[in-house]
Amino acid sequence: MCGRFVSTTSAEELADYFGAEAPTVDEELGVRPPSYNVAPSQDILAVYHDGASRRIDAFRWGLVPFWAKDPKIGNRMINARSETIAEKNSFKRPFAKRRCIIPADGFYEWKKIEGSKLKQPMYMSRVDGAPFAFAGLWEIWNDPGRLNEAGEPMQLHSCTILTGEPNDKVAEVHDRMPVMLPPSAWDPWLDRDNHDTETLSQLFRPAPSQLIRVQPVSTEVNNVRNNGPDLIEPID
């Protein structure tokens, strides 16, 4: 599972890194400032292909299927198990044609402490300082209760992070980890015309252990209201 992560690299820098067009910043888009404690249901940045070009824009974290009656269902869909997305009604359509990359500067998992009910938060980042490229899915939900100026339903763009088996290093903390895509996988993953889900599923391998740094951090991250660079400072 991935329930909290860090997003501090600017949209412009991420657009350059992923070869995408930077977002059009307006009130509705609401691109967030740097966050050290990104939580579900918040707007996050995602890289996707809109049919004309590769773009980076804001999506709500927690996928809302197009058939949903209530967008609150997205609160239960912040992650999608990569092993079952081809069969699940919520994910098989976006897996076929609406895939995205969710950039993250790092993410948190909580490690069980032997003999205690408490858990130690661990911060995981790339050893080279580059952002992770989490595999994601996105969807559009039409809100029948909100109409735009043309009298059409307002649209909600939402997304989810794919998870899979952990590598050896992450397995010491948690039994799942985000699916991380190498640069060689970005083109086929974002290609809207690529419907070969069987071949795409072969991308769901754990990232190499040597790519990731794991450090214990303060329990201050447990509270979503706390948000600052001190959250990722390693502790003894």
Helix (H, G, I), strand (E, B) or coil at 230: helix
pLDDT > 90: percent of the chain:
83
* pLDDT digit string, tens, across residues 167-184: 999 999 999 999 999 999
The pLDDT of residue 114: 87
| Residues 56-78, mean pLDDT to the nearest whole number | 95
Cα–chain center distance at 116: 30
Rounded Cα–Cα distance for residues 234 and 24 (Å): 35
pLDDT at 76 > cutoff 70: yes
* pLDDT digit string, tens, across residues 102-152: 999 999 999 998 888 899 999 999 999 999 999 999 999 998 777 676 667
Q: pTM of the predicted model, to two decimals?
A: 0.94
* pLDDT digit string, tens, across residues 32-45: 689 999 999 999 99
The CATH class that applies to domain 5-232 reads alpha beta
Active site positions, annotated: 2, 109
Rounded Cα–Cα distance for residues 84 and 122 (Å): 27
For the chain, what are the domain ranges?
5-232
